[in-house]
């Protein structure tokens, strides 16, 4: 169009100096991504030259520099007054006639192309903005629902002035950008009617762990400013890229957010933030098809830019179409060394006070300081735990002083989360009720060491830190694998040196994520306990079929772990609750018998084709089938626990085939636990039925020595190093190898005892699985053992 105005069709990533990072990215996407069927709203950029012309026309350049030289660079005590003085220069200035004419002409062309007077979003785009290493998240002003030429020109003036917001001046100083000449461009983009639908933020990697094969999508009703500002807890969807590329079902998990506010356009311009109706709060904002579309677009955008991206999307309520409205480089993991990890763990227990989404991995402790606005920043002492409702960019200097940040609203893509990651601070966002549960001066421990959910404990607890550097680490020939149950930790643990998951415990998922006995879902109408029935109704909200609740939740958890370690093997042990443990699940007591000795009772393989549990096992198999077939995660294998006889093993294999899990089809391997003396004695027969063995050393020790592993009185007799146990282990390894079958061991002993690791390796074991906290010590012992053989 001109040097002052450029349409999105005319600009690309080479134009950052002319139109800033945000606008350069919009132009790049408009030109390069629309041909890939990615929807980008049209618009134009008012260039940095226009900004400079405004400064020159009003002769304010020298005054700006004079005020900046007066800035207290030590304590920034006069930051607000310097900012205010400079902004007044802009807000009282006049526009050159030429610039007004060109802005109005460009807007008119946008209106003519859409055959009406259009509403536009007006966004600031600084010439150093949205670069890797500096997000400038929310530092400059953006205005939504601007309509009419005069209103647009006045809004551009406000954007120009926002280059000298206090928070922007401070941020540029902290990042070293104040030594460079900075100008501001303004993007004018067609508004998407997301107020009638929904919008949100997408990261093309998992923003917490940096796991590259996942796309995180967040969404809320109405305009996405509520997510960016952290005013709501949004829905969260996790999409697996390799499944997307194979055309398989790719959604790993869906979490519903409370979404208590809906931002809409106000008649005559501006926005309103309304309460979201209760029914909409309980509904997902996106369909599965829309989630996968946004996932595909994120992959395409990441491929185009060749780096992880932070993307804003919106859905138009009139047309039903999805649009991408912004994309910028993800600024945290781009700079991290993936081979260096710090591992934190609490060494004592405490009373849980609050939970929310964990941002950053670590543990810290301090005094709670409740602040209601950044104006109260002087009340916060360095290291205090800042507790507030939400944050915006005005909070940035305050957040840098805090030992940790807790907000009662917001999700993992909110302003508080993005800034906390960038400054390396710990944060917990969406900690609903925290302002009521804690008060000023409370000493608390913030624990973000155990997955996606952060926890706040009462008092100052003790913790330990281990730093690991995996660069150049050679793995032993014997495969080190994980014992794993919690999908929340899977992405972080995938960065550790490993060969996959040798044991995933299904019971943990059922107990923690599902909480309901599967047979209570199959026979829900027959439940006698009204209170439990009501609790199950709440858990199953959104599922018309209660059996689908079990299958879907189990598939999400298993799929997340299988995806985290893909394409390495993940071996899922089918359910191995004892009857007393099953009875504690909601609705469970009605379907379980009381046993004198549940450890030796109705457990494992015996349940799977029995009338008391047959339908429950079918739900387990349905979830496995969904992960393997629908999601394409064929690295998932299964393992049968407590299989007493070869005949029982054959029945289970036949039952699984009827349920759509055919051994050998699409690489499905079915293993058996070697944990009963009969498994060792008849190992040759078991080897003809199963694809491999996993030695369960706890049960094998218990049943060989006749020692209850839960007995404190007999605890000294429970010893995996007992010659009888070692004979059992050596014998089953020998028989497995003779039959050409794989065999591993799951247990603590090889990490605690180098001699035990040497024993296993000398006998020729294929893999050893460790709990996450024991993996590295276990690998060290394995390497040491191999060097001696």
List the catalytic residue out of 415, 517, 540, 621.
415
Nearest-angstrom CA–CA distance, 23 and 5: 12
Nearest-angstrom CA–CA distance, 395 and 346: 30
Letter string b/e over residues 506-531, b meaning 16 or more CB atoms within 10 A of that residue's CB: bbebbeebbbbbbbbbbebeebeeee
| Torsion angle, alpha carbons of 237, 241, 243, 247, to 10 | 100
Tokens at 395, concatenated: 């909070």
Nearest CA to 407 among 416, 399, 398?
Answer: 416
* Cross-strand partners of 215: 239
DSSP string, 114-173: HTS--EEEEEEEETT-SBTTB--TT-S-EEEEEESHHHHHHHHHHHHHGGG-HHHHHHHH
Helices vs. strands in the chain: H and E counts, helices first:
30, 30
DSSP string, 215-230: EEEEEEEB-THHHHHT
The phi, psi pair for 483, rounded to 5°, reads -100, 120
Nearest-angstrom CA–CA distance, 725 and 150: 85
- Angle, alpha carbons 741-561-587 (nearest 5°): 100
Nearest-angstrom CA–CA distance, 496 and 494: 5
For helices 646-658 and 614-625, angle between their N-to-C axes, nearest 10 degrees: 60
* Cross-strand partners of 453: 357
Is the separation of the CB atoms in 550 and 575 below 8 Å? no
CB-count burial class (<10 Å; 0-12, 13-18, 19+) for 712: exposed
Nearest-angstrom CA–CA distance, 73 and 53: 29
746 is catalytic: yes
Q: Are strands 142-147 and 119-126 parallel, antiparallel or unpaired?
A: antiparallel
Nearest-angstrom CA–CA distance, 57 and 53: 6
Tokens at 770, concatenated: 């460790």
Nearest-angstrom CA–CA distance, 628 and 470: 31
Q: What is the largest distance, in Å, between two alpha-carbon atoms of the chain?
A: 95
Nearest-angstrom CA–CA distance, 76 and 67: 13
> Locate tokens 């996968």: which residue?
292
CB-count burial class (<10 Å; 0-12, 13-18, 19+) for 664: exposed
Nearest CA to 513 among 598, 602, 570, 452?
Answer: 452
Nearest-angstrom CA–CA distance, 363 and 445: 7
Nearest-angstrom CA–CA distance, 666 and 660: 12
Nearest CA to 140 among 118, 114, 116, 168?
Answer: 168
Catalogue the E-assigned strands of 8-109. 43-46
Residue 375 CA: distances (Å) to CA of 294, 378, 394, 520 = 39, 8, 9, 54
Q: Which 8-state DSSP code applies to residue 586?
A: B
Nearest-angstrom CA–CA distance, 696 and 498: 20
* Cross-strand partners of 315: 198, 322
Q: Which 8-state DSSP code applies to residue 691?
A: S
Q: Which sequence positions are flagged as catalytic? A: 415, 746
């Amino acid at each position: 169009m001109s040097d002052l105005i450029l349409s999105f069709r005319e600009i690309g990533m080479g134009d950052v100096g002319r139109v800033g990072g945000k606008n350069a990215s919009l132009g790049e996407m408009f030109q390069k991504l629309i041909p890939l069927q990615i929807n980008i709203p049209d618009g134009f950029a008012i260039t940095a030259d226009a900004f400079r012309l405004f400064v020159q026309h009003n002769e304010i350049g020298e005054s700006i520099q004079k005020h900046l030289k007066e800035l207290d660079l030590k304590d920034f005590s006069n930051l607000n007054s310097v900012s205010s003085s400079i902004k007044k220069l802009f807000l009282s200035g006049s526009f050159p006639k030429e610039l007004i004419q060109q802005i109005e002409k460009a807007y008119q062309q946008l209106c003519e192309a859409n055959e009406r007077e259009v509403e536009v979003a007006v966004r600031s785009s600084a010439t150093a903005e949205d670069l890797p290493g500096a997000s400038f998240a929310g530092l400059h002003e953006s205005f939504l629902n601007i309509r009419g030429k005069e209103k647009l020109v006045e809004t551009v003036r406000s954007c120009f002035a926002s280059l000298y917001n206090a928070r922007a001046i401070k941020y540029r100083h902290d990042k070293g950008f104040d030594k460079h000449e900075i100008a501001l461009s303004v993007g004018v983009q067609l508004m998407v009617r997301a107020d009638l639908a929904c919008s949100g933020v997408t990261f093309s990697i998992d923003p917490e762990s940096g796991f590259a094969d996942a796309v995180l999508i967040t969404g809320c009703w109405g305009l996405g400013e509520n997510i960016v500002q952290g005013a709501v807890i949004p829905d969260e969807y996790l999409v697996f890229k390799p499944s997307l590329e194979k055309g398989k079902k790719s959604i790993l998990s869906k979490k519903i957010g409370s979404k208590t506010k809906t931002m809409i356009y106000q008649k005559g311009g501006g926005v309103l933030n309304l309460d979201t109706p209760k029914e909409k709060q309980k509904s997902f904002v996106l369909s599965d098809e829309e989630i996968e579309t946004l996932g595909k677009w994120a992959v395409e955008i990441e491929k185009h830019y060749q780096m992880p991206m932070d993307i804003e999307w919106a859905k138009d309520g009139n047309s039903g179409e999805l649009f991408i409205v912004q994309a910028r480089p993800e600024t945290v993991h781009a700079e991290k060394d993936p081979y260096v990890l710090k591992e934190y763990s609490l060494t004592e227990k405490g009373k849980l006070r609050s939970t929310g989404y964990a941002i950053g991995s670590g543990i810290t402790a301090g005094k709670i300081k409740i602040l209601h606005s950044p104006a109260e920043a002087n009340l916060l002492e360095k290291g205090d735990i800042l507790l507030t409702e939400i944050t915006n960019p005005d909070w940035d200097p305050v957040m840098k002083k805090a030992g940790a940040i807790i907000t009662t609203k917001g999700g993992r893509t909110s302003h508080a989360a993005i800034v906390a990651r960038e400054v390396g601070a710990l944060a917990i966002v969406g900690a609903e009720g925290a302002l009521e549960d804690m008060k000023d001066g409370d000493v608390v421990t913030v624990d973000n060491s155990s997955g996606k959910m952060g926890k706040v404990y009462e008092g100052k607890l003790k913790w330990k830190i281990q730093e690991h550097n995996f660069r150049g680490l050679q793995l032993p020939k014997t495969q080190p694998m994980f014992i794993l149950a919690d999908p929340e930790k899977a992405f972080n643990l995938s960065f550790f040196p490993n060969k996959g998951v040798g044991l995933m415990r299904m019971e943990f998922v059922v107990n923690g994520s599902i909480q309901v006995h599967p047979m209570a879902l199959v026979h829900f109408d027959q439940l006698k306990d009204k209170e439990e029935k009501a609790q199950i109704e709440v858990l199953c909200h959104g599922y018309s079929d209660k059996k689908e609740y079990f299958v879907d939740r189990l598939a999400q958890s298993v799929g997340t772990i299988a995806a985290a370690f893909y394409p390495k093997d993940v071996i899922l042990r089918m359910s191995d609750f004892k009857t007393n443990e099953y009875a504690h699940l909601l609705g469970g007591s009605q379907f379980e018998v009381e046993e004198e000795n549940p450890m030796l009772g109705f457990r494992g393989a015996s349940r799977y084709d029995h009338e008391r549990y047959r339908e429950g096992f079918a739900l387990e198999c349905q979830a496995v089938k969904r992960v393997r077939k629908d999601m394409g995660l064929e690295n998932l294998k299964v393992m049968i626990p407590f299989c007493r006889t070869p005949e029982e093993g054959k029945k289970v294999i036949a039952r699984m085939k009827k349920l759509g899990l055919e051994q050998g089809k699409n690489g499905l391997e079915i293993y058996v636990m070697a944990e009963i003396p009969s498994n060792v004695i008849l190992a040759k027969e078991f080897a003809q039925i199963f694809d491999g063995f996993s030695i369960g050393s706890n049960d094998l020790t218990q049943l060989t020595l006749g020692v209850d592993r839960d007995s404190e009185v007999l605890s000294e007799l429970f010893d995996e190093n007992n010659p009888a146990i070692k004979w059992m282990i050596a014998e089953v390894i020998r028989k497995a190898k003779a039959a050409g079958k794989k065999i591993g061991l799951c247990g603590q002993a090889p990490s605690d005892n180098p001699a035990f690791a040497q024993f296993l390796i000398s006998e020729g074991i294929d893999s050893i699985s460790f709990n996450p906290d024991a993996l590295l010590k276990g690998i060290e012992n394995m390497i040491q053992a191999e060097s001696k053989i």
